[in-house]
Amino acid sequence: MSALEIESLVIERGDFTLGPVSLGVALGSATVLLGPSGAGKTTLLRAVAGFLSTSGGTVRLAGESIGSLPPERRGFGFVPGNLGLFADRRVRQNVRYPIGLRGGRDVEGRTAHWLDRFGLTALADRYPRELSSGERQRVAMARALASDPKALLWDEPLAALDVESRDELLRLLADLLETERIPLLLVTHDPATAFALASRLVVLEEGSVRFDGPPEALVRAPLDRFVARFLGYANLFDAEELSRAPPSDLVRALTLASGPAGVAVPNDALRFTSRPGAGANARVQAVRWSSAGWTVALRHGPLILHRTAPGEVPNVRVGDEVALSVETPALKPLVASSTEEPR
What SS3 string covers 263-322? EEECHHHEEEECCCCCCEEEEEEEEEEECCEEEEEEEECCEEEEEEECCCCCCCCCCCEE
pLDDT tens per residue across span 181-193: 889 999 988 777 8
pLDDT (0 to 100) of residue 38: 87
Weakest-pLDDT range from 15-24, 56-65, 136-145, 156-165: 156-165
The 10s digit of each residue's pLDDT in 60-105 is 998 899 988 999 889 898 888 888 899 999 999 999 998 887 766 7
pLDDT tens column, 185-227: 999 887 778 888 889 989 888 898 888 888 887 666 667 787 7
Produce one character per residue of 269-284: b if its CB has 16 or more CB atoms within 10 Å, e if not. Answer: bbebeeeeeebbbbbb
- Tell whether the model's pLDDT for residue 338 goes beyond 80: no
Compute the distance between CA of residue 132 and CA of residue 194 in angstroms, rounded to an integer. 23
The pTM of this model reads 0.75
Mean pLDDT computed over 134-148: 90
Q: What span, in angstroms and rounded, lies between the C-alpha atoms of 166 and 152?
A: 19
15-52 pLDDT, tens digit per residue, is 899 989 999 899 989 999 988 888 899 999 999 999 99
State how far Cα 116 lies from the chain centre.
29
Give the chain's domains with CATH numbers: 4-220 (3.40.50.300), 225-335 (2.40.50.140)
Q: 3-state class of 262 per DSSP?
A: strand
pLDDT at 297: 92
- How would residue 11 be classed by pLDDT, with cut points 50, 70 and 90? very high
Q: What span, in angstroms and rounded, lies between the C-alpha atoms of 279 and 273?
A: 9
State which amino acid sits at residue 311.
Answer: G
Distance of CA 99 to the CA centre of its chain: 31
> Which of 138-142, 164-168, 227-231 has the highest average model confidence (pLDDT)?
138-142
pLDDT at 4: 92
Query: What pLDDT is recorded for position 290?
Result: 76
